[in-house]
Amino acid sequence: MYAAKSGGGGWARYQNGMSSTLLKRLDLRDRLTNALQCGDIQPWFQPVVDLDSGTLLGFEALARWCSNGIPILAPVEWLPFAEESGLVVEVDRAMMRSSVAQLAAWRKDAPDSEL
């Protein structure tokens, strides 16, 4: 199916390696589903600063897949698949929950800040 879609047509001939590609995609889906359940999809916060004044405007939350003992997977390796498979909705939910929890913690630690 993926070969037919990427080729722009409605069909594709089986070629060596297609089964391997399918197995890799299924493995990635299983690992991503597990990562979402275990909290391994995390926001990494990048400050947004007004360059003229140096004022902190807020933070951008960047999705990162961090599992214990496994190198961080670059977003380019898994986010396109999350979008294709529909798991991106779960990624968004996980990011939102974690980001809101972090904001609450920052506000508790610095109640007089503008966060």
12 within 8 A of 4, measured Cβ to Cβ:
yes
**pLDDT band (50, 70, 90) for residue 79:** very high
Give the pLDDT confidence of 99-112 residue by residue, as tens digits: 999 999 999 998 88
Give the pLDDT confidence of 6-32 residue by residue, as tens digits: 555 566 565 665 577 778 888 999 999
Domain count, the chain: 1
Q: Which residues contact 99 (CB under 8 A, 6 or more apart)?
A: 43, 45, 61
Domain range enclosing 72 = 39-110
Question: Whose CA is closest to 63, among 88, 92, 34, 42?
Answer: 42
Within 13 Å of residue 21, how many CA atoms lie on the same side as its CB?
9
pLDDT for res 32: 95
d(CA 102, CA 3): 41
In a domain, 15, yes or no: no
In a domain, 103, yes or no: yes
In a domain, 55, yes or no: yes
DSSP state of 12: -
From residue 76, how far is each of 64, 67, 104 by CA, in Å?
Answer: 10, 17, 29
In a domain, 11, yes or no: no
In a domain, 13, yes or no: no
Q: In one letter, which amino acid is 56?
A: L
* Crossing angle of the two packed helices 75-85 and 18-38, in degrees rounded to 10: 90
Give the pLDDT confidence of 21-63 residue by residue, as tens digits: 778 888 999 999 999 999 999 999 999 999 999 999 999 999 9
